[in-house]
Amino acid sequence: MSFASPTAVRESRTLRQPYPNFNVVVLDDDVNTFQHVVDCLVKHIPGMQPDRAWELAHRIDGEGSAVVWCGPKEQAELYHQQLLVEGLTMAPLERA
């Protein structure tokens, strides 16, 4: 009985790079009220609760800006545009 020599099996590995996330950043300005910022965040950012929106509004006021959402580019572009249309002052999208 004869055995064939073992054949090397090449394992094909594909390295998958995750899609990059992008930050949606609201900037402080002298135009928008806290209430307007909160209302816009709750309206346009999925899952945003009023308490969290108030925290972010205070951070925007105190630190000059805040990341209000982070995730895939297409969604980030949508939320960025919606907040911009509402009159919020927005930083350009930035890669997280």
Q: Residue 66 belongs to a domain with what CATH number?
A: 3.30.1390.10
Q: Of the candidates 55, 60, 53, 52, which has an alpha carbon nearest to the alpha carbon of residue 38?
A: 53
Residue 83 within any structural domain of the chain: yes
Q: Of the candidates 68, 44, 73, 45, which has an alpha carbon nearest to the alpha carbon of residue 55?
A: 68
Residue 61 within any structural domain of the chain: yes
Residue 3 within any structural domain of the chain: no
- The DSSP 8-state label assigned to residue 24 in this structure reads E
CA 55: distance to chain centroid? 17
Q: What pLDDT is attached to residue 2?
A: 56
pLDDT at 4 over 80: no
Residue 14 within any structural domain of the chain: no
Rounded CA separation 60/64 (Å):
5
pLDDT tens digits for range 50-96:
999 999 999 999 999 999 999 999 999 999 999 999 999 999 999 99
Residue 8 within any structural domain of the chain: no
Residue 91 within any structural domain of the chain: yes
pLDDT at 5 over 60: no
Q: State which residues form the domain around 84.
A: 21-95
pTM for this one?
A: 0.81
CB 22 within 8 A of CB 94: yes
Tally of structural domains, the chain: 1
pLDDT, mean over the chain: 91
